[in-house]
Chain A
Amino acid sequence: MTIQSCVACGGHLNALQREGIVRKRARSLSSSAATYPVVYRLLQKLQVCAGCLEALPFIGEQICRQCGRDMCGEVICRDGLCRDCVDRASVPLSNNRSLLQYDEKGKSLVSLFKYRGDERLASFFSALLTIAIYRYHHTPSRFTCITTVPLHPTRLRERGFNQVELLAKALGHAIGVPVKTLLERTKATEKLSKQGGRVHREESMRDAFAWAQGAVLADLSSACSGGIARAKVKGGANSPVMSGTPLRVLLIDDIYTTGSTLRSCASTLRAHLGTVCEIYSLTIYR
């Protein structure tokens, strides 16, 4: 795979063939005229050929208000929630949004990136995440910080890289929001494939995360816009109370499967930051 070929099929990147599709996609993905140019440019630079760009399974207009699931052909319960979300009591996660449906092509690309460790795919995936944030959050700069689902140190050493961290950094760079390490993994949960069932998964995820030692949410200078006081939080200390605009934390992950990981992270964040803090999550696939 050279830098000039499609990451999905290895085919030739023909700018002329792509142009029409880029425009069409940019129009449907940009929520307002203001975001059109940036979405257009991101799509134009996306390293996929015309055919693969056209075939990308973007999540449609109608989604579950809570988890971002494509509601085309699904039963919509009250308040625009899907049947999973409607049964759930209060969730610390304000909402989740994802860009693409997790199809076979997506699976093979993710495994190239995540398991085979082809870090060159990071720029492709981070561009997708950036498109996602412009699609669902019109002014991304309103986030106080970006953070990620942490990897257990042992796993991290084994693998040598943290794919989600790479994405978060690129996203943060693109939208000018700092990336912070706020969480750490307390137990090395078994691999996803080994976890049986939804309930079991939710169970095993509970208390899987803790506030990272010495983590700082935001320093004075970058969080002062609304007259927010110091937002320094020490491990175990009670949450500081802030006035003015709420803190908004954006949690990043590659795939939203059942959401249990993200919800668990969100509860840990909530427990330390208190209710003044809004937590959103964003993933590429769902």
Chain B
Amino acid sequence: MREFLLYIKSGTEAVSSVQTYVTPSFSVDQSFWQERESCILHVIGKTSSLALAFSLREQINECIRKRLPERQKLTDGVVAELRHLAVGKVREASVLYGREMTDRERDDNQASWSSAFACMRQPPKDWFAWKVVEFRCEVHACQKDAESAGGYKIFSRHSLLRRTSLTADGASASVLGKLLDGRALLWEEIETLLCKRGVEVGDLAAVLHEGVLAGKVQWLPGVRMGVVSNWRRKRLVLFCERCGSEDRALQLIYCHSCEQGCAYCTICLGMGRSKCCTPYMLIASSASADIGREKGMGQPARLEWTGRYSQDQARAAERARRFVAGSHPGRSEFLIWAVCGAGKTELLFPSVAEALSSGGRVLIATPRKDVVLELAPRIRRVFPEARVIAVHGASAEKWEESDITIATTHQVMRYHRRFLLVVLDEADAFPYHNNPVLYRALARAAHETGKLLYLSATPPLYLQKRLVSNDRSKSASSAALPLASATHVLLPGRYHGKPLPVPEILTIKGLHKRVRTNRAVPQMTNAVKRSLDAERQVFVFVPRIDDVDVVLAYLQKAMPDRSEQMAGVHASDPLREEKVLAFRNSRYTLMVTTTILERGVTIPKSDVLVVGAEAPVFDEASLVQIAGRVGRSFDDTAGSVLFLQAERAAATKLAVRQISRMNQLAKKLAEAGGDNA
């Protein structure tokens, strides 16, 4: 069991330096201080709950600040008091933990879906275990034969042991440094990583803690614990240091690792359990990507791309590059707002090259694994001398050193101050949309001087407000959208220069009932027939999973000769990948789908139909994305988009307005460009 020791360090002369520390390896602290200053270390106690230790540290420090105002020495009497205080605080935490547990159980039992959980808890006398340690030692700086008060000979032998183990660990420590550079990992993840790499570190706790003391490594409990009090009562609060989730997102458990009350985070659980007793280690990147790069490995920034930009694309790409190259303090975010089919990936190339040439690493984060897999080879081709890795849950190259990392959004949580440029692809897509967890992770993955670049066809309002400077006197809808500012660039036209297909809206009373009861909806069947007869493929979007089969059956009945070419798919469909592939290969010509295909899948010569466009799941952004499936290729720039709704809805109107507005902007821009030429 890992144990964490709490001690107070006070100077031998001055009293200004009274501070409390937590350590997994006290001997490291002893030799660390010995090399620096003479001081007295008063051990308070130990526990295996890191969250408890951190919480106590804070409370003791606060108490010291209050108790020792000016030039007052930390006497043994005060230390004894503080030991006593710690015991009291642990008891209080136990009571609050128990109360929180009871509160939650009461609420759980009110919810109809859970069974009695109370019986599963181990109800110990006290939820938290704390062992008081009464030990005091004096550390004399730089003395060859360290003699401490009370004649602790063990101490000097300890430091000797430390020395030898240090040299043994010296080599592995540097390997460790390289491996962990710019990462944020749970202790267990570090152990697994080292094991996989065959790196043997004699005393991992000691090596890591040395980094902590030297200020190179930051450590936190996976789940932080604190006490807040309002006028009525005190309450235990929990916070996941990895993903930032709080309160009920953290599950209270009796833990067999720390053998006491503990909590784990249910939000970032897919990445391993972040717990109260698990140290979470944050190692800021010390240098740039030069780490691990041998001499003569070439120029990672060399861009080998033969494609050509349209005038608009060139303008946008250059704007973004200048943002990356710029060194304005405070200007760390930039939005590329490019309509569906504007060719946004290509726009990134100059920005990526810029960051690489200044010696930094680049991260491209995208919500979905299939995009990661599709993007990686493309990026590899255009940056032939850069090391490009694809990082997702199951990828083997996850831990490799790289210049360009293409990762799913969850994996971003494993980085810490590592990248000079962080690109967020599809900034509006699940799971980023309004998700503080991932914005937090993104911001943390960027180096202190790093830049964040958002890419979106339908940026959410909060991003627009922050980055698209608008004329504030006008309402957002009537104001003309600025094409560019210091924090954004807008690309309203497609790469092929043709306008976006504008959706047609049809309101059909009783639409859903008609479909369910198999009554004729000629507007729907005719549209589908027209497309299929013209040898085009059709996306049919429906709001709910249940609707997939209903609408599919309806269409198959209406067009029995084509029923073999129709299929339906939804998020938890086990054959999802196979079906989408078959649709791409034109084995199927019609696909009924939920919003899962609203982005990503592009099929040349296709049309779109939305059945039930009034449903709340189709918001403005979603409908714009759906309409954006159509007319993207050079040889088929047109196509039809039909929104069928059972009643009038705001979102369909707004979507049409947004698309028309982009077309107008693109037209104006083209005219202006034409004038200039």
- The residues of A with any CB-CB pair to B shorter than 8 Å are 1, 3-4, 9-11, 13, 45, 47, 116-120, 122-123, 126-127, 156-162, 166, 169-170, 172-174
- Which one of B256, B269, B270 lies within 8 Å of A160 (CB-CB)? B256
**Cβ-based interface call for B346 (8 A):** no
Please determine whether B119 and A173 come into contact, CB atoms closer than 8 angstroms. yes
Contact residues of B between 238 and 260, Cβ < 8 Å to A: 251, 253, 255-258
**Cβ-based interface call for B478 (8 A):** no
Give chain A residues whose Cβ lies under 8 Å from the Cβ of B264: 117, 119
Please determine whether B266 and A3 come into contact, CB atoms closer than 8 angstroms. no
- Which one of A9, A118, A161, A174 lies within 8 Å of B256 (CB-CB)? A161
- The residues of B with any CB-CB pair to A shorter than 8 Å are 1, 108, 111-120, 251, 253, 255-258, 262, 264, 266, 269-270, 273, 275, 277, 545, 572
CB-based nearest A residue for B545:
A11
* Contact of A119 with B251 at beta-carbon distance under 8 Å, contacts A11-B545, A157-B257 already known: yes
Please determine whether A3 and B114 come into contact, CB atoms closer than 8 angstroms. yes
Taken together as a complex, chains A and B put the C-alpha atoms of A118 and B272 apart, in Å, by 10
Taken together as a complex, chains A and B put the C-alpha atoms of A120 and B264 apart, in Å, by 11
Taken together as a complex, chains A and B put the C-alpha atoms of A13 and B112 apart, in Å, by 11
- Which one of A47, A158, A173 lies within 8 Å of B257 (CB-CB)? A158
* Contact of A160 with B119 at beta-carbon distance under 8 Å, contacts A3-B108, A3-B114, A11-B545 already known: no
Give chain B residues whose Cβ lies under 8 Å from the Cβ of A119: 251, 253, 264
A159-B256, A161-B256 known; 8 new pairs, CB 8 Å cut-off, are A3-B114, A120-B266, A122-B117, A123-B117, A126-B115, A156-B256, A170-B119, A173-B119
Taken together as a complex, chains A and B put the C-alpha atoms of A127 and B269 apart, in Å, by 23
Give chain B residues whose Cβ lies under 8 Å from the Cβ of A156: 256
Give chain B residues whose Cβ lies under 8 Å from the Cβ of A170: 115-117, 119-120
Taken together as a complex, chains A and B put the C-alpha atoms of A116 and B275 apart, in Å, by 13
Taken together as a complex, chains A and B put the C-alpha atoms of A208 and B171 apart, in Å, by 40
Give chain B residues whose Cβ lies under 8 Å from the Cβ of A10: 572
18 pairs, A vs B, C-beta closer than 8 Å:
A3-B108, A3-B113, A4-B111, A4-B113, A9-B572, A47-B113, A116-B273, A117-B264, A156-B256, A157-B256, A157-B257, A160-B253, A160-B256, A160-B257, A170-B115, A170-B117, A170-B120, A173-B116
* Contact of A118 with B266 at beta-carbon distance under 8 Å, contacts A166-B120, A173-B119, A174-B116 already known: yes
Taken together as a complex, chains A and B put the C-alpha atoms of A130 and B527 apart, in Å, by 53
Give chain B residues whose Cβ lies under 8 Å from the Cβ of A47: 113-114
Taken together as a complex, chains A and B put the C-alpha atoms of A116 and B269 apart, in Å, by 7
- Which one of A9, A45, A157, A172 lies within 8 Å of B115 (CB-CB)? A45
CB-based nearest A residue for B275:
A160
Taken together as a complex, chains A and B put the C-alpha atoms of A119 and B269 apart, in Å, by 11
Please determine whether A116 and B253 come into contact, CB atoms closer than 8 angstroms. no
Give chain A residues whose Cβ lies under 8 Å from the Cβ of B277: 160
* A43 CB to nearest chain B CB (Å): 12
- Which one of B113, B115, B119 lies within 8 Å of A13 (CB-CB)? B113
- Which one of A9, A120, A158, A173 lies within 8 Å of B251 (CB-CB)? A120
Give chain B residues whose Cβ lies under 8 Å from the Cβ of A158: 257
Please determine whether A127 and B256 come into contact, CB atoms closer than 8 angstroms. no
The 4 closest A-B pairs by CB, nearest first: A173-B119, A160-B257, A123-B115, A47-B113
CB-based nearest A residue for B111:
A3
CB-based nearest B residue for A171:
B119
Taken together as a complex, chains A and B put the C-alpha atoms of A172 and B119 apart, in Å, by 9
- Which one of B1, B113, B275 lies within 8 Å of A157 (CB-CB)? B1
Taken together as a complex, chains A and B put the C-alpha atoms of A160 and B1 apart, in Å, by 11
Residue with the highest number of chain A CB atoms closer than 10 Å, among B256, B258, B266, B545: B256
Taken together as a complex, chains A and B put the C-alpha atoms of A161 and B252 apart, in Å, by 12
Give chain A residues whose Cβ lies under 8 Å from the Cβ of B572: 9-11
* A145 CB to nearest chain B CB (Å): 15
Give chain A residues whose Cβ lies under 8 Å from the Cβ of B114: 3, 45, 47, 123
Give chain B residues whose Cβ lies under 8 Å from the Cβ of A9: 572
Give chain A residues whose Cβ lies under 8 Å from the Cβ of B273: 116-117, 160
Taken together as a complex, chains A and B put the C-alpha atoms of A134 and B572 apart, in Å, by 32
Taken together as a complex, chains A and B put the C-alpha atoms of A79 and B266 apart, in Å, by 48
Taken together as a complex, chains A and B put the C-alpha atoms of A21 and B251 apart, in Å, by 31
Give chain A residues whose Cβ lies under 8 Å from the Cβ of B255: 160-161
* B452 CB to nearest chain A CB (Å): 29
- Which one of A3, A4, A117, A172 lies within 8 Å of B269 (CB-CB)? A117
Taken together as a complex, chains A and B put the C-alpha atoms of A127 and B113 apart, in Å, by 11
Give chain A residues whose Cβ lies under 8 Å from the Cβ of B256: 156-157, 159-162
Taken together as a complex, chains A and B put the C-alpha atoms of A47 and B108 apart, in Å, by 13
- Which one of A45, A116, A127, A160 lies within 8 Å of B112 (CB-CB)? A45
